[in-house]
């Protein structure tokens, strides 16, 4: 069963997010320290929410909802979903997408654009 939980920034959750990235992208060289540094140095004035996507007791993936601070436009949001290949095709990504849209509906800044992307090696 799927649970969507706010990212708690524990060692276990950071390691799981990095493991998902490595499983999805052969060229990914991210690591826990790099991710922690990014999280500690990003501008807190802009929305940035990361969630872990749990399937039963396992972290099956993660999702992010954020304002792209490097190209700020009021009402523009970005959405990122990453599901480990072992857990794909179970509706996890779709459930997070719906959840993220619900979260966006609660933002003060009215939504004008939601940007999402994929890479060619993970088209679904």
Return per-residue pLDDT of the chain as tens, 124 residues: 999 999 999 999 999 999 999 999 989 999 999 999 999 999 999 999 999 999 999 999 999 999 998 888 999 999 999 999 999 999 999 999 999 999 999 998 889 999 987 666 665 5
For residue 118, give every residue at least 6 positions away whose Cβ sits within 8 Å of its Cβ, in sequence order, or none.
124
**Domain 2-116 class in CATH:** alpha beta
| pLDDT confidence of residue 122 | 64
Give which of 49, 48, 59 is closest to 3, Cα–Cα.
Answer: 59
Give which of 29, 33, 45, 122 is closest to 84, Cα–Cα.
Answer: 122
Give which of 51, 48, 59 is closest to 23, Cα–Cα.
Answer: 59
For residue 39, give every residue at least 6 positions away whose Cβ sits within 8 Å of its Cβ, in sequence order, or none.
9
| pLDDT confidence of residue 94 | 96
């Amino acid at each position: 069963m799927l649970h969507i939980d706010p990212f708690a920034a524990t060692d276990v959750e950071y390691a799981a997010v990095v493991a998902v990235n490595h499983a999805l992208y052969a060229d990914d060289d991210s690591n826990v320290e790099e991710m922690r540094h990014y999280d500690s140095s990003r501008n807190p004035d802009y929305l940035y929410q990361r969630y872990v996507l749990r399937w039963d007791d396992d972290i099956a993936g993660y999702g992010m909802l954020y304002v792209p601070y490097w190209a700020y436009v009021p009402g523009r949001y970005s959405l990122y979903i990453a599901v480990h290949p072992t857990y794909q095709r179970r509706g996890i990504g779709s459930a997070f997408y719906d959840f993220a849209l619900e979260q966006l509906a609660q933002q003060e800044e009215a939504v004008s654009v939601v940007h999402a992307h994929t890479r060619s090696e993970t088209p679904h």
